[in-house]
Structure 1
Amino acid sequence: MCAKADVKPTVGGISNESNLFTTPEQSARKGFCSVRHGLAFVLHICNFSIYTQQMNLSIAITAMVNHTALQSQPNVSIYSQDDWNATQEESQAIAPAYAWNPETQGIILSSLNYGSFVAPLPSGYVAGVFGAKYVVGAGLVISSVLTLLIPLSADAGVAALIVVRVIQGIAQVTVLTGQYSIWVKWAPPLERSQLISIAASGGMLGSFLVFIIGGLICQTIGWPYVFYIFGGIGCACCLLWFPLAYNDPESHPFISADEKRYIAASLAQQDRLPDWSLPIKAMITSLPLWAILLFHFCEYWTLQIVMAYMPTYISSMLQTNVRDSGILSALPFVAGWICIILGGLLADFLLSRKILRLITIRKLFTAVDVLGSSAVLVSLHWVRSSQGATMVFLVLSAVFSSFSQSGALVNFMDIAPRYTSFLKGLFQMCVNIAGAISPTVSGVLLSQDSELGWRNVFFITAAINITGLIIYLIFGQAHEQDWAKEETLTHF
């Protein structure tokens, strides 16, 4: 949020020049029945669908792997679990199983991010210039159709599966990146954290449901139906997105005049319109931008490991079958889903009541995330013999991690609202780099030692997270940067 937005708004986040509309705009600001909140809930559903498609392999892979076959392979770490093996025999009678060792599994889980390096910047830039409706919609369609093809590609071999996952990852990036350009024209500054948190929390809900339902599907009707069901849900979401999503309030056919005026007045003091040109040199030398960029990489190093390996960790450490692993894996995500929404509401409350400055809110929420989640993840090694303690720690990790959504992860909209969509693409590229590396590295560590490997994974994760926090605390800012206001700089 820029400094101007903190000073100019006087009543309900609107400027003195707009006092003529004070009463209706105050009314337009209240409640969750506004069109802008409706758009946030539509994006919530779209993010729900995308994350189910990202996470479905994480739960399905516990049933897709033939652990009996792996026992005969040298230098492969496996977990001896009677219940799990019984579940494998049951699922193998329904669907095929594959002899993928932990290193191969790590590569397959990471492959979603291998081709995603090329997508964030173009998709964010195009969505910022032309609008997000068709960019997000196209990505959702492609990802959903490819989800339906994953069982067929797995039968064709590891290479075919990786190719499908790479293309699917590119499509998903267009959804996760392009949607942020919508909030440039739809989100009043004092509601920004709230609206984005509502939309983003769909990812946590999707992760929760795909685990709690996916394990049951794998054990009863076979793992291919995990992809058929959630791919079909994604196709249905496309039918919801195209008729209900609009790039700006002016083009929406059903928005009230009061809400339209309120949004326009609240954004009037900010130079937020995206431009064809980009101040590349100024961006490269901007320390606040680099601080947010590096934190994205560090934060998503952890999140990608958690999303990819949560069912595998619970299955191996707690010796559960596929169904129970899915149910237990879902608990941290439902906690995170709730806390992301509450965190956004808390951040906006602290800001609107002037209890804390915006930069203090961003850094405080980020510190709670990193310090809390790092502490509980590192402690998992010493409580692994207790199912109750392990689950409490995993839930606490998700709760702490949810705070960053109202912290550093949304901070780029504060320092450069004009280039929101492009910057989201840049940060998404860092997310994909972390996603391509961290599960692969984890797979290598686990293939060397199944018990101490987890300890090493969590120690490395904590060290990377704390490094990102230190850099962000030192260099992070929350006021609009000069290069985000000026159009006279050297441009791309």
Structure 2
Amino acid sequence: MRRWTSDSEEEQEDESPLLAERGAAQGSIQQYPPAAKVPVCCSARYNLAALALLGFFMVYALRVNLSVALVDMINSTSHDQENRSANVCPDHTARPAVPHNSTGRKYDWDSDTQGWILGAFFYGYILTQIPGGYLAGKIGGKLLLGFGILCTAVFTLLTPLAADLGAGYLIAVRALEGLGEGVTFPAMHAMWSLWAPPLERTRLLSLSYAGAQLGTVVSLPVSGIICYYLDWVYVFYIFGTLGVLWFILWYVLVSDNPQTHRTISDTEKEYILSTLKNEVSKGKEVPVCDMLKSLPLWAIIVAHFSYNWTFYTLLTLLPTYMKEILRFNAQENGFLSALPYFGCWLCMVISGYIADFMRERLLFSTVAVRKIFNTIGMIGPAAFLVAAGYTGCDYTVAVIFLTLSTTLGGMSIAGYSINHLDIAPTFAGLLLGITNSFATIPGMVGPVIGKILTHENTVEQWQMVFYISAAINLFGALFFAVFASGTVQIWSVVTNKAPRG
């Protein structure tokens, strides 16, 4: 049972955290103070989750639309023709022809250049992760997240111009987009450390971050439709404009914390503040050495890196796999590439509610819930990803396996993805910046390695890509299962200040 300090016990404010009892590490159930029933409908915290969902919808819509548009930007009679494996699977000639009114320019970029273009985003993305997390903890996450997405939207609008100027300019613009988006997840984590009551934490975060999957679900097929019927340049103009409109809503309606929210009820404000009262240690110095030695933190880093290797590989290369191996056209490519992420979005939302139900009603310990969901959410995708490589030209089974792989990955939102807030809510934004920096490396090198391994686009080459992703996923799942924790670490809450008096 946690010890609760009164407002007058200032000396113990940093030393009696909500999750303080040492025995909790062995699986004891975390207790929270009783609170009056606070409505969910139209509440400030769920309104924040809804706007965050729309924000991360834009984050991923702006990020992944190039994966589809690039297929239509390449001159298929040039370098791409040399790498096409037209005889791997039969073309779908039985389908009626659909008018294709594309007038966009085509570019003679070879496979390696395409890999660098797809990976360039992450070279900017990695640079602002840790600074973003640190700044969000100091100045708040609202403006940091908002301007991060706004910058990405503006550079998205400039993408067609950059492509006309040359591959180098396009790579630079994509890297600048990455700089803008690099602050988004750390900033949101920092905001949730001030907004999310512990027993609602998983569902609130899974709801907001599920916007990323929803953005992928919508962006991939819509981008395919735009390319097919209009012109690939409109992919960037339309999504870039939507990003600017979202920023206006975010700026007007969102506050950094419950205290500064204009329309929050007194009941909800008191509920949030009372449940988080002793979790966050204000003004605490960053315990760098203790972080470096923390196995629970390294468990999140390894799991995050491993999951993202598979996620980013499929995110950037799945449209190419659909086109070159399974031989789907641009319109079908977008829909079928999006199907796995629809399953992932649905799984993320459901997992959040189930995980909180297990903690609140079934009295599972936090660490048990995190390990269960993370194990299923990483080993399941690895198994189905390998199986997908052996489906040959069976389009139906291939799409089913790829969909199941990505869908099960959504369960990890209730595993490693939220674990930052369990072990160190004071530094949640900074920790996510750290783990996401490591987890950005797969986005930088995964597409490049994938393109290098699939020069001839044979089934065997794609099997190797899937094998590598599955092996890394399996390692991450096992590492997290052994070393993860569900309780606030002592280095997150014990003050560094000298004793008073």
TM-score by length of 1: 0.92
Match of residue 399, structure 2, among 387, 391, 415 = 391
Q: CA deviation at 1:116?
A: 2.4
Where does residue 333 of structure 1 map in the other structure? 341
CA gap of 1:448–1:316, structure 2 versus 1, over 3 A, is closer
Which piece of structure 1 moves more, 172-181 or 295-304? 172-181
Q: CA deviation at 1:198?
A: 0.6
In 2, the alpha carbon distance for the partners of 1:482 and 1:72 equals 58
| Maintained 8 Å contact 1:66/1:88 | no
Match of residue 251, structure 2, among 238, 242, 247 = 242
CA gap of 1:311–1:433, structure 2 versus 1, over 3 A, is same
Q: Secondary structure at the match of 2:450?
A: helix
Letter in 1 for 2:229: T
Match of residue 14, structure 1, among 29, 33, 40 = 33
Letter in 1 for 2:296: P
Where does residue 109 of structure 2 map in the other structure? 100
Match of residue 329, structure 2, among 321, 325, 329 = 321
Letter in 2 for 1:14: P
In 1, the alpha carbon distance for the partners of 2:112 and 2:449 equals 9
Q: Deviations over 1:239-272 (max 9, x none)?
A: 11001111110100100000001111111232x1
Q: Deviations over 1:21-56 (max 9, x none)?
A: x4xx21x1x433211000000000000011000000
| Maintained 8 Å contact 2:217/2:339 | yes
Q: Is 1:359–2:359 an aligned residue pair? A: no
Q: Is 1:459–2:463 an aligned residue pair? A: no
Where does residue 19 of structure 1 map in the other structure? none
| Maintained 8 Å contact 1:87/1:321 | no
| Maintained 8 Å contact 1:71/1:78 | no
Which piece of structure 1 moves more, 342-351 or 132-141? 132-141
| Maintained 8 Å contact 1:335/1:398 | yes
Where does residue 266 of structure 1 map in the other structure? 275
CA gap of 1:93–1:279, structure 2 versus 1, over 3 A, is closer
| Maintained 8 Å contact 1:483/1:489 | no
Q: CA deviation at 1:177?
A: 2.0
Q: CA deviation at 1:229?
A: 0.5
Q: CA deviation at 1:397?
A: 1.0
Q: CA deviation at 1:4?
A: 4.5
Match of residue 125, structure 1, among 114, 117, 134 = 134
In 1, the alpha carbon distance for the partners of 2:312 and 2:86 equals 22
Where does residue 355 of structure 2 map in the other structure? 347
Q: Is 1:177–2:186 an aligned residue pair? A: yes
Q: Is 1:474–2:482 an aligned residue pair? A: yes
Match of residue 449, structure 2, among 428, 441, 444 = 441
CA gap of 1:72–1:219, structure 2 versus 1, over 3 A, is closer
Letter in 1 for 2:220: F
Letter in 2 for 1:221: L
After TM superposition, the structure 1 = structure 2 runs for residues 301-316 of structure 1, keeping only pairs within 5 Å, are 301-316=309-324
Q: Secondary structure at the match of 2:488?
A: coil
Match of residue 3, structure 1, among 1, 12, 19 = 19
Q: Is 1:218–2:234 an aligned residue pair? A: no
Q: Deviations over 1:81-126 (max 9, x none)?
A: 7669x99997685101112222221111111001222211111100
Q: CA deviation at 1:434?
A: 1.6
Q: CA deviation at 1:384?
A: 3.0
For the aligned residue pairs, the C-alpha RMSD in angstroms reads 2.4
| Maintained 8 Å contact 1:445/1:453 | yes
CA gap of 1:332–1:341, structure 2 versus 1, over 3 A, is same
Where does residue 214 of structure 2 map in the other structure? 205
In 2, the alpha carbon distance for the partners of 1:464 and 1:446 equals 19
Where does residue 379 of structure 1 map in the other structure? 387
Q: Which runs of 5+ in 1 are unaligned?
A: 16-21
| Maintained 8 Å contact 1:120/1:177 | yes
Q: Secondary structure at the match of 2:283?
A: coil
Letter in 1 for 2:431: L
Which piece of structure 1 moves more, 467-476 or 233-242? 467-476
Q: Secondary structure at the match of 1:126?
A: helix
In 1, the alpha carbon distance for the partners of 2:383 and 2:410 equals 15
In 2, the alpha carbon distance for the partners of 1:298 and 1:274 equals 32
Q: CA deviation at 1:288?
A: 1.0
The structure where helix makes up a greater share of residues is 1
In 2, the alpha carbon distance for the partners of 1:218 and 1:227 equals 11
Q: Deviations over 1:353-403 (max 9, x none)?
A: 134211111011011011110010001121131111111111111211000
Q: CA deviation at 1:66?
A: 1.2
* Equivalent pairs, count: 474
